[in-house]
Amino acid sequence: MFVNRMPRFEPLSDDALATIEAGVERLAAEVGVQFDHPRALELFHDAGQTVDGSCVRFDPGFLRAQAGRAPSAFTLRARNPARDLVVGGDHMVFGPAQGPPFVRIDGVRRDGTMDDLESLLKLTHVTDALDTPGRNMLEPNDVPLDVRHLVRALAAIRLTDRVWSGEPSSDIAAADCLRLAEIVSGPIEDAPVLFANCNVNSPLHFDVRMLEGILAYAAAGQAVIVTPFLLMGAMAPVSVPAALVQQTVEALAGIALVQLVRPGAPCVLGSFLSATDMKSGSPAFGGPESALGLYASGQIARRLGLPWRSGGGTLTASPAVDFQAGYESMNTLQAAFFAGANVCWQSAGWLEGGLVTSFEKFAADCELLDLLLHQFTPAEVDDASLAFGAHVEVGHGGHFFGAEHTLERFRECFWRPTVATTDNHDRWTRGGSLEHAARATKRWQELLESYERPPLDDALEEELVEFVERRAVELGDPISV
């Protein structure tokens, strides 16, 4: 796992943070949050908060106090113990794009299929820089909707040995995912194994489906990420400070609910904050507002003592793997490093504002992520690193290609890209003048060819298959897996 030992970039002053925190208290107390689930309302009522219809208004300090019951860091166990994840502190967890209905392979855009999803799971398994496939790198549109959670979870378990994410969108799906996790890992309540990413229906609203997910995963002690999805101008005001206030209220309201269900349960403060193109109403990604939002979100999460999920890995609004996709992706993913994010979804493959998972971009993004893992690894500065002897050897106006210091280190001394080229123009032209996206095709194909299925106990697999096939029958869509 990557541990971010570089300093944090913290542009907000203590005064600015205090202003935001006062705004959080006011919004929580005066406008409050709507919860469409009787159990949530009951829990808040029993905790002494003001419940008015489905709206909860929070006493000053209540949300912060509940957040204080959540651990500042915790471990998620993987099927392969070498892949266990620490969530919190200076650790960073990276996962690929989540949720796109469409896939783009070799320039062709079409509906995603289970076969595509399996390839993406394999690519994630072989990519060292990625820690978890999450839940849905792509919608498998050829699998019936009500059994998709079963098929996806089974594929994640079979094809990778990493931590995966449970389906949060109903209590049925949550219970199935929790059962699959127990089959693999035994009792999980006190040693969590799953992420459950729960989006808020911003502004200030949790619907019944997300609440079913939150309540189920909280009761089971799994890692609930509460993520406000804020496109400023649409689900939040057109001001970064206002969006930060709203994001904090929403995330803390969800985390407070988790703590009321199960005090001390692992939680992650989620964020996903970007701007809207006010001309077209379309989402914009990778711009200055998202980066500022990320830096500030990190500061807010650290003051709350909570692990934090950054909204933004390699985000882009671009429909193609082009210059725009490159700079927007670099800007958002890099901001997560500067801001000290603990969990970064959407770090590989995201294209077209999240409507598409692109295989080419998956390979391109993994290079970019690997670059940043190197960039955020502090350089050792000691006398040996100053290479004084190399200067004595080379002298004035010479070159270092053949210096002993160089020869000893040339293989490892610099980061090496997997897709980017340093070819000169002649060589590049002779190779077919392939742009980055075209070269990335070769890279993901190589990665996929290198895939080997991680070992899985036969009896365990049989039990998983039996469970999935039985549940599919019960859900009315029999499948053979």
182-241 residues near a copy of itself, rule: CB under 8 A: 201, 203-205, 232-241
Total number of residues that touch a copy of itself (CB under 8 A): 124
Instruction: Choose between 16 and 126: whose C-beta lies nearer to a copy of itself.
Output: 16
User: Does 292 participate in binding a copy of itself (rule CB under 8 A)?
Assistant: yes
According to CB under 8 A, which one of 73, 172, 420, 456 is a site residue for a copy of itself?
420
Cis peptide before 203 (omega within 30 of 0): yes
Residue 345, token pair as written in the block: 């979804």
In sequence order, the 6+-apart residues with CB closer than 8 A to the CB of 233 are 275, 276, 278, 281
Instruction: Choose between 338 and 345: whose C-beta lies nearer to a copy of itself.
Output: 338
151 contacts 469 by C-beta, under 8 angstroms: no
Beta strand 2-3 with 91-94 is antiparallel
146 contacts 476 by C-beta, under 8 angstroms: yes
Instruction: Choose between 385 and 480: whose C-beta lies nearer to a copy of itself.
Output: 385
Give the C-alpha separation, 58 to 213, whole Å. Answer: 22
CB of 306 to a copy of itself, least distance (A): 21
User: Does 417 participate in binding a copy of itself (rule CB under 8 A)?
Assistant: yes
Instruction: Choose between 380 and 452: whose C-beta lies nearer to a copy of itself.
Output: 380
User: Does 405 participate in binding a copy of itself (rule CB under 8 A)?
Assistant: yes
Which residues are registered as beta bridge partners of 56? 33, 51
CB of 77 to a copy of itself, least distance (A): 32
Beta strand 223-232 with 267-270 is parallel
According to CB under 8 A, which one of 3, 7, 89, 264 is a site residue for a copy of itself?
7
* Burial of 364 per CB tally in 10 Å (0-12, 13-18, 19+): buried
User: Does 291 participate in binding a copy of itself (rule CB under 8 A)?
Assistant: yes
Give the C-alpha separation, 426 to 478, whole Å. Answer: 58
What's the number of CA atoms in the CB half-sphere (13 Å) around residue 404?
7
User: Does 480 participate in binding a copy of itself (rule CB under 8 A)?
Assistant: no
Residue in 326, 232, 323 with CA at minimum distance from that of residue 277: 232
Torsion of CA 9, 14, 19, 25, to 10 degrees: 90
Which of the 8 DSSP states describes residue 450? T
User: Does 297 participate in binding a copy of itself (rule CB under 8 A)?
Assistant: no
CB of 294 to a copy of itself, least distance (A): 11
CB of 348 to a copy of itself, least distance (A): 13
In sequence order, the 6+-apart residues with CB closer than 8 A to the CB of 363 are 418, 419, 440, 441, 443, 444, 447
User: Does 289 participate in binding a copy of itself (rule CB under 8 A)?
Assistant: yes
31-50 footprint of a copy of itself as x/- string (CB under 8 A): x-xx----------------
Interface region with a copy of itself, contact rule CB under 8 A, candidates 153-161, 185-193, 257-265, 432-440: 432-440
Name the one residue in this structure whose structure tokens are 């609203």: 205
Which of the 8 DSSP states describes residue 222? -
φ, ψ for residue 276 (rounded to 5)? Answer: -105, 145
Residue in 275, 267, 209 with CA at minimum distance from that of residue 240: 275
CB of 94 to a copy of itself, least distance (A): 16
Interface region with a copy of itself, contact rule CB under 8 A, candidates 87-95, 184-192, 255-263, 387-395: 387-395
Instruction: Choose between 189 and 410: whose C-beta lies nearer to a copy of itself.
Output: 410
Chain positions 324 to 383 lying near a copy of itself, rule: CB under 8 A, are 324-331, 334, 338, 352-353, 355, 361, 364, 368, 371-372, 374-375, 377-383
CB of 332 to a copy of itself, least distance (A): 10
Interface region with a copy of itself, contact rule CB under 8 A, candidates 26-34, 123-131, 302-310, 444-452: 26-34
